Amino acid sequence: MKRWLPQPLASLSLWGVWLLLGNTLAPGQILLGLLLALALPLFTVRFWPDRPRLRRPLKIPAYILMLLWDITVANLTVARLILGPADRLRPAFILLPLDLRHDFAIVVLANTISLTPGTVSADISPDRRSLLIHALDVEDADQTVAMIKHRYERPLQEIFEC
């Protein structure tokens, strides 16, 4: 099982992407997609020496739904900030100490931060223990950090084994 199906989630997403790309559910395409989805991870598994292990994959859909909702809210917030007077914005760099240790989990967190209200991740410290983020309008930096840690980092910690 482990040998012939090294990355079940990657296989599943490859299959899904193949079917979406063809925009079809023809039996031939389903079979071909399945074949590719099974074969590709076998050849690419060597490029992932340090694969993240999922502890609770069932929490992923909840996280994605929350993310989609937050993206919508983020856009309304940013639209208001952009259209409002520019000199009233209070941009700042904030340093976010990381509790996540795995590279992949940090990437997911950085992407999440970039897509949600008023923050963009800009850089990571060389020791990978803190993330530099830029915020468009900050009232209280500590509060922003606490919000990110509570809302995004904790679920990611639960999903990934860290």
Handedness of CA 8, 10, 14, 16 (dihedral sign): positive
Q: What Cα–Cα distance (Å) separates residue 108 from each residue in 22, 78, 119, 140? A: 28, 21, 14, 24
How many residues belong to the chain? 162
The CB-of-24 to other proteins minimum distance in angstroms stands at 9
Look-up of token digits 């859909």: 61
State the DSSP H helix or E strand holding residue 135, giving kind and residue range, or none if neither.
Answer: strand 130-135
27 is a contact residue toward other proteins (CB under 8 A): no
* Residue 121 interacts with other proteins (CB under 8 A): yes or no: yes
| Count of residues engaged in binding other proteins, rule: CB under 8 A | 40
Question: What's 56-99 look like in SS3?
Answer: CHHHHHHHHHHHHHHHHHHHHHHHHHHHCCHHHCCCEEEEEECC
Q: Which stretch binds other proteins (CB under 8 A): 36-44, 46-54, 77-85, 154-162?
A: 77-85
Which of 53, 75, 101, 103 binds other proteins (CB under 8 A)? It is: 75
Q: Does position 58 bind other proteins by CB under 8 A?
A: no
User: Cβ 20 to other proteins, closest distance in Å?
Assistant: 5
Residues near other proteins (CB under 8 A) are: 17, 20-23, 71-72, 74-75, 78-79, 81-83, 86, 89, 91-95, 110-111, 113-115, 118, 120-123, 125, 130, 132, 134, 136, 138, 141-142, 145
